[in-house]
Amino acid sequence: MGKAMTAIELASRVKESYSLDWIFENVKVGLNLAKEYGVTHIRAFADVDSKAKLEGIKALLKAKEEFKGVVELQVVAFPQDGVERESEAYNLVREAVKMGADVVGGIPWIELTEKDEETHIDKMFEIALEFDKDISMLVDDAGDPTLKTLEKLAIKTLETGYMGRVLAHHARAMSMYPMQYLMKLIALLKKSGISIVTDPHTGPLHVPVKELLSSDILLSLGQDDILDAYYPYGRNNMLEVAFLASHILWMTTAADMEALYDMITKNPAKAMRINDYGIELGKTANLVVLNAPNVLEALRFYEKPLYVISHENFFKVMELFSN
């Protein structure tokens, strides 16, 4: 994880040839995999900077419309190369939101100084507040215990009253924090209502999952990457992600498996503020039917669902079942 910055810089070279056409085709591959494996909602990040411009945003917005009712896409305008380091990023993020991006992104730890980290967070909150958008930020994604942008993000969330509308992703430096500081940070996370998305399968470091769960922090698993510069695998199969996490985190009891299952279903629905989620009267009829009698069997085989039923074809499928 010490070379995370190098990986980002190498991957950024691809952005010099960004084009809506080929990005859109790749996005469709990912969303078709999501459809096969029963993923009904995705929060997807598109880089916006002087190289990428708005090509990734355009591709995701086009895919959002094409897959509407099948896979619901939340588009994140993401300043991957920084806001203070990248002079065009602020205006491009703002323009992306005006075009229809759903979420304001951020990656404050990428900046060169602590002051710039705070400015990064401030500027992204400025856009989110102006357009009433939720926030997703990648924080402290390296093996460096001095990185503390998650704390800065929590403080800004409290200052702006944005509790419950902020997701923090990765936060791998948490694994290296002294226990006293970690407990202080967890208390701050609870107060600010920040949710955490972790991807233990994509790197040797990850957040202290069991400590966060025992402290009632809303914690979800993410796919993070699919066949890109950072991760050579990935197919939008969240049961597979939970299966891998079970081994990496040594979460193999029945209670652990239930927690992991919640981390790919209920928890991300809450974190993404999908308000009509759940099997209750009046909720949107999106159902994923697995060929498994319990969570253990679902995680053991992580197969494609028997049925993925959207609200648009719900009654057609119910008629099929009744016959």
Which residues are annotated as catalytic? 170
Q: What is the DSSP letter of 292?
A: -
CB environment 52-74: b (16+ within 10 A), e (fewer): bbbbbbbbbbebbeebeebbbbb
Residue 44 forms beta bridges with which residues? 75
Determine the 3-state secondary structure of 170 from DSSP: strand
Beta strands in the chain (DSSP E): 41-47, 72-78, 103-106, 134-139, 166-170, 195-198, 219-221, 287-289, 307-309
Q: How far is the CA of 146 from the CAs of 92, 119, 120, 188, in angstroms?
A: 30, 18, 18, 17
Nearest to 144 by CA among 272, 1, 305: 1
Please state, in angstroms and rounded to a whole number, the distance separating the CA atoms of residues 137 and 150.
Answer: 9
